[in-house]
Structure 1
Amino acid sequence: MCGPRRPEADFHVSENRTVRVPMMHRENLILPYFRDEELACTVVELKYTSNDSALFILPDEGKTPDVEAKLLPETLRWWRSFLRPRWITELHLPRFSISSNYKLHDILPKLGFNEVFTDKVNLSGISDTEDLLVSQVTHSAALEVNEEGTEAAGATGIDLNIRSLEVIAVHFDRPFLFAVILNDIQSIIFLGKVTNPGNRPQQ
């Protein structure tokens, strides 16, 4: 038996292409929000159930390459410093999953790990096997965004005069960027771009 059908909405992959994708819809939220007029993008922060957070960056139409070029750690820190609680009347965000595998054989030596793939490496601390060598290091990363994994911050302790606030609706219905941040150490652990949430996760 099939479960309940999830609501779908249009996602504009490009100027000439639109796909239907499962879309989360929330109303009347108080969320950290920032409108960057210089880079022409909107930034919203959502809290995860683990108390970590994710920044979702929505470039204005045609501005994605410009925002991507400025997507540096200092830019993310600057955005976060300007985030303020705002009343969001509507938030539309597609459900999506992303996964990737990275082979680090060429990357680690550039970071100073020059002996890890040679016979000079000493791995006696992790194995009693003699002549143990590292032939390859692979890093896997995966992220899934849905109602269960992401929850909007509540309004506890925030007193706002709704009548004086600008009405804000944020629709992530075109390509956008995101960064997952580990709040305990203020470190970016996942950085990505969603161009077509209707595609299957990468293998």
Structure 2
Amino acid sequence: MCGPRRPEADFHVSENRTVRVPMMRRENLILPYFRDEELACTVVELKYTSNDSALFILPDEGKTPDVEAKLLPETLRRWRSFLRPREIAALYLPRFSISSDYNLQDILPQLGIGEVFSDQADLSGVTNTTPLRVSQVVHSALLNVAEEGTEGSASTGIVLERKSFQSNTVRFDRPFLFSVVLKDTQSIIFLGKIVDPSPPRALL
């Protein structure tokens, strides 16, 4: 049996292409907000119950390449420093889930971790089997944004504070960027771009 159908709305993938996607809506909120006039984008922060947070970055139409070119650690730090609580009448955000696997065999040696991949590897502290070396390291990342919250490797859910007044509306209905940041270390654990959040279609 199918569950209740989630509300759908138009998402403008490009100037000539629109798709229907499940769209979440939250009303009467106070959220950290920043309007960057220099880079022509809107930034909203959604905090997790663990106090870690996600920045959702909505470039103005036609400005995505410009914002992407400036998406550097110092830009993210600047946005976070300028975020201020703002009354939001409604926030529209598509449901989406992304995952990816990364082979770290080429990356780790650049960080000085290379010997474990060579014949000189000493893994005697891990196992008595010899000779032994690491042949591959794969890192998997998953981020899921849904009504129940946002799930990731260091997240437990989004807390949205409800208020009784209204102000502007923020609608993520075109390609946007996002970054998930750990509060304690200010480390970026996810950085991505959503171009088409429509669910994959089953093949017939």
Normalised by the size of structure 2, how large is the TM-score?
A: 0.89
C-alpha distance in 2, partners of 1:125/1:84?
50
- Tell me, yes or no, if structure 1 residue 115 matches structure 2 residue 115: yes
Write the deviation string for residues 107-135 of structure 1: whole angstroms up to 9, x where unpaired.
11222223121011111122121111111
8 Å contact from structure 1 (residues 31, 152) kept in 2? no
C-alpha distance in 2, partners of 1:39/1:183?
25
Of 123, 138, 160, the residue aligned with 1:153 is 160
- Tell me, yes or no, if structure 1 residue 67 matches structure 2 residue 67: yes
Shift of 1:105: 1.6
C-alpha distance in 2, partners of 1:49/1:124?
41
**Count of equivalent residues:** 193
What is the match of residue 79 of structure 1?
Answer: 79
Shift of 1:155: 6.0
C-alpha distance in 2, partners of 1:10/1:50?
32
C-alpha distance in 1, partners of 2:25/2:162?
18
8 Å contact from structure 1 (residues 53, 180) kept in 2? yes
Runs of 4+ displaced beyond 6 Å: none
8 Å contact from structure 2 (residues 8, 21) kept in 1? yes
C-alpha distance in 1, partners of 2:14/2:139?
31
What is the match of residue 183 of structure 1?
Answer: 183
What is the match of residue 144 of structure 1?
Answer: 144
Write the deviation string for residues 13-68 of structure 1: whole angstroms up to 9, x where unpaired.
00000000000001110000000000000000001233321000000001111111
Over the matched positions of the two proteins, sequence identity in percent amounts to 75
Uncovered stretches (5+) of structure 2, i.e. residues with no partner: 151-157
**What pairs up with 1:1-203 in 2 under 5 angstroms?**
1-150=1-150, 151-154=158-161, 167-200=167-200
Q: Structure 1 residues 45-54 or 169-178, which shifts more? A: 45-54
C-alpha distance in 2, partners of 1:24/1:114?
45
